[in-house]
Structure 1
Amino acid sequence: MAYNVLSVIPARKGSKGIPRKNLRQLGEDPLVAHAIKKSKKSNWIDHVALTTDSQEIAQIGRQYGVDTIIDRPTRLATDEIPLAPVIEHAFEEVDHEFHYVLCFQPTAPLVSVDSIDEGIEAGIDSNADSVVFVRDSTHIYWRDGENGYEPVASDRKNRQQMDEIYQEIGIFLSENHIVRQGRRVGDSSEFYEVGMYEGIDIDTYADWILAESQLQRKQVLYRLIGNGNAGTGHVYRGITIADRLFEHDVLFAVEATEDLAIEKLEESNYDYQIFENEPSFLDYVRSTQPDVVANDILDTSAEYIKSLKEYTSRVVNFEDLGAGTDHADAVINALYEHSNPPENHYFGFKYFCLRNEFRYADPRTAIPSVERIMISFGGTDENNLTAKTLRALSDLDHELHLDVVLGLGYTDQGSLDSVTATYPPNISVEINQNVQSMAEHMEQADLLITSNGRTLYEAGSLNVPVISIAQNHREQKHPYAHISRGVLFLGQAEYVTEENVRTAVEEYVTEREKRETMREALEGHDITNGVERIKQIMFNQNNAD
């Protein structure tokens, strides 16, 4: 039988930095077992040898199916001995002839099988006598020179502008004549660069913790919408969740028609991919098989969710009222309350995804008087409730500032100008669109007038009382406005008159006790921790309540 590539795994018992390092469990396997498993899965490696001075490590080698276990002599198992003679000894002990020897140190457990194969293939194709596996380590470094500490580089540059510096990760491929010469690297060597986390080299406990966290990382594919009709609530929720998922990788997915979503994702610097349609998205899921697929696209079909379930272990939907809810692993709907929700369905304000800007804003502790009213109906404001509200408040006999925040899809500002032109001097009006921080506006408000969407919860997190109007039948069914005494719900847009709005505001402005009752009611709702509950649901941690 012809053998071409030998993998030699050196694993002695005398580790000092992390005692018994090679025997300790990293993820589901002992550290040394990661190198064994990946060597055995390689398409290029023909034989796997473990060289060790430990009977315990040798036993692990047998359990994980190494081809040869080499009893390393004591003279080659001390701290002072470099690796080259250890590999040379192992090569001589194996009862086969190999053209290449791969030194695979257990301290590089995260290198993928694909990277191992690509590195070997690159060395063979280039006729290099050795391949050094490295990772990028480009940074500003200092050294102790004759005149004290001095920078290694002569000029200071941003990292992206510096010449690359590479770090060995403990994996080398060498032709057999290099090994016989007692060397690890030949004169015509190649570099094979692995990713930053693949190249973690475990020498310290900090390295170990980092490697452990990488093994636990999951791939999340988050599909969302964001356009003139749907607004930006879906994309803001996705970004807010991603901001709290340091331990996992998130890729957003949008269709080309979702212009506002693409704009906001571009601003956020998160990775996203544009798909032509739903079938092309399903093709991508089929090819990548992510750990979690999140759908933030409103109602889904049963056929779509069942297709997803063939290629991912968990599907989580947001604000879904479609037939797909019967097949998703979890459905999260903060905009609805349910006294007896179906299994794996999570309803109510406890699951609202509060943006960071509201988490760090200051909630209202009292509203002694009403001087500033915020008006914000978001999206396209399909019924132009902004204009209706401004008309309703145009003759109030109070000193007021009206802070109007328009949705990104709103296009009828001319109708507002004609209304505000007739306003009396006791009421000032400021109109903004595409504001940088909704929280900054809201925390200054003594009252918010808005629709029956996510803005209710944002106001609730800041203890700002609300007068709400539903834009449509779907919003009419959002019950937070009905169950919260901090919200005065006036009804669906087509049935709400300007007089209704004016009367509600007049009563709020003049009745301090009513204002305080509404504000205190909002204090009892834990909206701030909704993202943590959502994370637990997404990864099936079973303690979302």
Structure 2
Amino acid sequence: MSGKILSVIPARKGSKGIPRKNLRKLGDHPLVAHAIKTSKESDLIDHVVLTTDSREIAQIGRQYNVDTVIDRPHRLSKDEVPLAPVIEHAFNQVNKEFQYVLCFQPTAPLVSVNSINKGITAGTDEKTDSVVFVRDSSHIYWREKEDGYEPISSERKNRQQLDPIYEEIGVFISDKSVVKEGNRVGNSPEFHEVESQEGIDIDTYSDWILAESQLQRKQIIYRLIGNGDAGTGHVYRGITIADHLFEHDILFGVEPTEDLAIEKLEESNYDYQIFDDEQSFLEFVHSTKPDVVVNDILDTSADYVKSLKQHTPHVVNFEDLGTGTDHADAVINALYEHSNPPENHHFGFEHFCLRNEFLYATPRAEISSVNRIMISFGGTDENNLTAKTLRALSDIDRDIHLDVVLGLGYTEQEWLDPILSAYPSNVSVEINQDIRSMAEHMEQADLLITSNGRTLYEAGSLNVPVISIAQNHREQKHPYAHISRGVLFLGQADYVTEENVLTAVKDYITDREKRETMREALEDHDIANGVERIKQILFEETNEN
């Protein structure tokens, strides 16, 4: 690349769509200042000129260290004056030799330095005399004719399948020969396409609001697990949180072994990246410097979180009982409470992330009789509590339907066939795995038998009473099973007998008052708003910073 580059920023005081547009603050800076800042930050631009008919805009230019302020004559400040003579005038006023002129209109404030540099590189290629910055604006458009309207495209396709239509965004670069001829661009310009959000061209209040929203977007990297052992609870939480973070950008990070996480992220169409190991994830964070890093991977180490904190202002961990909790900005743990939690810890059902399918399911009203029992121990069901529960209920002496939902990691189906073959005819059993909707099954249940995991809260959100068994010592710590009168906790798997299960179920079936007491107790817990509380934790410290 040879030849110096002049950046010309045209900014009139008159604006019909948004009065005094160039003076108003967009984010932390006046609108015109964004183009100045980006031009000054580009190491390819040699000189930045502001051409204006406003003393106020000129003062902003000086405040933001523009190299030259040009007092635009009245004849070039009228509404009907095109941009080409304004750029030519500014070029002639600068007493220096420039080979290329970049026109950077303030109405394109979100164009990044990186995009500017790429466009300049393309524009200073000897094969072209000008480059127009554009964004894809492909839609089905119609045009008016004397006898009505007709579509521009003769075929009706989905937007993604249309031939691209490009929209100018108010930035272009041209060789000085084009400018001296009184033109903005040459006859056959090249296009430099920017990302849609960078190409927002502010002309109306709606455009302004959209640009403001884009400036406020934060970058979140969400690391999670999801495999046969861990199940899909972490993945569903991450996806649910992402569903509620429309105003921010989120990228999921997984390792190759997290096959269930990858599968569910593919289905959701959320962006994700596969990292070989923890070190490669740390290197990515160090290079991208996101606003927030979320760890939904269970226990973290102190060294890992301290390394993250060197390159991101806010680290939030879920269900973390490791040494990394001492260094995270926030730890959210709906499952395991603490009698005297540290200041940065948030415990309890108020911080449970309820999946969307449960938000739109119908909570149970009065349970007058028990006709349908749901059995679901999720994940791998490490103690095969599914088989234990089915053996226990094979002695039940009434007509009932058992809805068994197996976790995706469950591989002990051969244990179930001999148990089911001995079942009495009055009990029907349905077994499913990889179901369409957990909420759809749960809202039909009169009772749920499950382990001490997230399913407790999902049942609680639908007022479905629960008989629970802890799979391990970690689940034993789940306080909701102990404090909620809507949950009958039988103890840890090793100490729960089939007789314990059968007795508990029979008591529930025969005691209507007990059922209603349990159901009503669940109504008192505000589980549905947990996601909003989590959002506040994710961003409150970052906003302060």
Please report the TM-score for the alignment, with normalisation by the length of structure 1. Answer: 0.98
Partner residue in 2 for 1:92: 92
| Pairing of 1:390-469 with structure 2 (within 5 A) | 390-469=390-469
Q: Deviations over 1:398-433 (max 9, x none)?
A: 211000000001111121111111111211100000
Partner residue in 1 for 2:248: 248
- Amino acid aligned to 1:97: E
Paired residue total:
542
Q: Deviations over 1:511-540 (max 9, x none)?
A: 010000000110010000111111111112
Partner SS state of residue 304, structure 2: helix
Partner residue in 2 for 1:32: 32
1: CA distance, partners of 2:528 / 2:60: 48
- Amino acid aligned to 1:26: L
2: CA distance, partners of 1:253 / 1:380: 23
Partner residue in 1 for 2:151: 151
Q: Deviations over 1:271-307 (max 9, x none)?
A: 1111111111111111111111100000000011011
Q: Is residue 289 from structure 1 mapped to residue 289 from structure 2 by the alignment?
A: yes
Partner SS state of residue 353, structure 1: coil
How far apart are residue 338 of structure 1 and its match? 2.8
1: CA distance, partners of 2:5 / 2:328: 46
Is the 2:313–2:542 contact (alpha carbons within 8 Å) kept by the matching residues of 1? no
1: CA distance, partners of 2:47 / 2:129: 20
Partner residue in 2 for 1:481: 481
Is the 2:337–2:477 contact (alpha carbons within 8 Å) kept by the matching residues of 1? no
Q: Deviations over 1:375-402 (max 9, x none)?
A: 0000111111011111111121221100
1: CA distance, partners of 2:67 / 2:144: 46
- Amino acid aligned to 1:198: E
Partner residue in 1 for 2:12: 12
More divergent stretch after superposition (107-116 vs 95-104)? 95-104
- Amino acid aligned to 1:131: V
Partner residue in 1 for 2:105: 105
Partner SS state of residue 221, structure 2: strand
2: CA distance, partners of 1:485 / 1:66: 68
Is the 1:536–1:542 contact (alpha carbons within 8 Å) kept by the matching residues of 2? no
| Pairing of 1:319-334 with structure 2 (within 5 A) | 319-334=319-334
Identical pairs, percent? 78
Partner residue in 2 for 1:206: 206
Is the 2:291–2:542 contact (alpha carbons within 8 Å) kept by the matching residues of 1? no
How far apart are residue 164 of structure 1 and its match? 1.0
2: CA distance, partners of 1:300 / 1:388: 34
1: CA distance, partners of 2:532 / 2:211: 24
Partner residue in 2 for 1:165: 165
Q: Deviations over 1:163-211 (max 9, x none)?
A: 1110000001011111111100112421111000000000011110110
1: CA distance, partners of 2:337 / 2:477: 9
Q: Is residue 371 from structure 1 mapped to residue 371 from structure 2 by the alignment?
A: yes
How far apart are residue 3 of structure 1 and its match? 6.9
2: CA distance, partners of 1:452 / 1:348: 13
2: CA distance, partners of 1:466 / 1:187: 73
Please report the TM-score for the alignment, with normalisation by the length of structure 2. Answer: 0.98
How far apart are residue 161 of structure 1 and its match? 2.2
2: CA distance, partners of 1:159 / 1:53: 42
Partner residue in 1 for 2:41: 41
Partner residue in 2 for 1:335: 335
- Amino acid aligned to 1:24: R
Partner residue in 2 for 1:538: 538
The answer for unaligned runs of 5 or more in structure 1 is none
How far apart are residue 156 of structure 1 and its match? 1.4
- Amino acid aligned to 2:264: K
2: CA distance, partners of 1:542 / 1:131: 38
The answer for unaligned runs of 5 or more in structure 2 is none
How far apart are residue 542 of structure 1 and its match? 9.5
2: CA distance, partners of 1:503 / 1:98: 90
Q: Deviations over 1:54-81 (max 9, x none)?
A: 1110110010011111111111111111
2: CA distance, partners of 1:3 / 1:339: 69
How far apart are residue 337 of structure 1 and its match? 2.3
2: CA distance, partners of 1:161 / 1:400: 52
- Amino acid aligned to 1:493: A
Is the 1:335–1:454 contact (alpha carbons within 8 Å) kept by the matching residues of 2? yes
Is the 2:3–2:100 contact (alpha carbons within 8 Å) kept by the matching residues of 1? no
Partner SS state of residue 539, structure 1: helix
Is the 1:3–1:47 contact (alpha carbons within 8 Å) kept by the matching residues of 2? no
C-alpha RMSD of matched pairs (Å)? 1.2
1: CA distance, partners of 2:188 / 2:266: 43
- Amino acid aligned to 1:529: N
Partner SS state of residue 125, structure 1: coil
More divergent stretch after superposition (241-250 vs 149-158)? 149-158
1: CA distance, partners of 2:68 / 2:111: 22
2: CA distance, partners of 1:147 / 1:406: 63
How far apart are residue 126 of structure 1 and its match? 4.3
Partner SS state of residue 226, structure 1: coil
